[in-house]
Structure 1
Amino acid sequence: MLYSMDDSHDRYIRITVAGSLEATSMSEAISRLMRHPDYDIKHSYWDCRKAVMGMTLSDLTEIVRVFNMYKPETEVFANRSAILVAGEVNRSMVKMFISAVKMFKFNFRVFTVPGEAEAFLCA
């Protein structure tokens, strides 16, 4: 899996992911994002349209653990995350992940249209 981060937008950090998604690389990308100096004030925009969703439920559990470790410094932080995917199968897989992290202070949504993802993050 390859990924890049772009923090040039004033409301979000965009993470573009390509290749086969796997738990180790995703955990690394998420951890790197959470260490970004603007993470508490910018939402997250995961563009996974060029990624192949192939994670198992065990992989998703590992990624949920990474989010569980994050403790925001303030009660109010930029907690919105838009996940942009291609196709309904990928959308369904991301929805399973979202249901697993609902207990945390993150507001994840999955999209197949870029403009809708951006509108969610900029609202």
Structure 2
Amino acid sequence: MKKFNVTVNGKTYEVEVEEVGAPQKAAAPAAPAAAPAPSPAAQPVQKAPAAQPAPAAPVVPKGPVPEGAITVKAPMPGKISAVKAESGASVKRGDVLVVLEAMKMQNDITATADGTLHEIRVQVGDNVKTGDILAVITQ
């Protein structure tokens, strides 16, 4: 056992911490001890395997935004649950481009202008932050 002083909110506490795997000191018995009972064979402690990093999601090409193009940005952080339009399609203002799930609600993200959908920059399952470009519309 090791003793430490820990201060929490201005109050000091003395704590004892047991080291794992360290031999323990035998406490002085108060009375004669009886013969110890046979103990089952100790099982070796196995360490959990190291966590593997999750494989990176495939990256959608994100080239420069064409001059004069209109970008449709994420209004809030969330996860893309559906892509409703394809690159090259003609879109009108108000057409649903993607569905963004945020706080257990489905939010339709719509085209902000008429034009041609130059590219969709997200895929189903992507996590987006506020202001991330979801789509690019050219006129």
The two structures have a TM-score, normalised by structure 2, of 0.20
TM-score normalised per structure 1: 0.21
Indicate the structure whose relative CO is greater, using CA pairs within 8 Å and at least 6 residues apart.
1
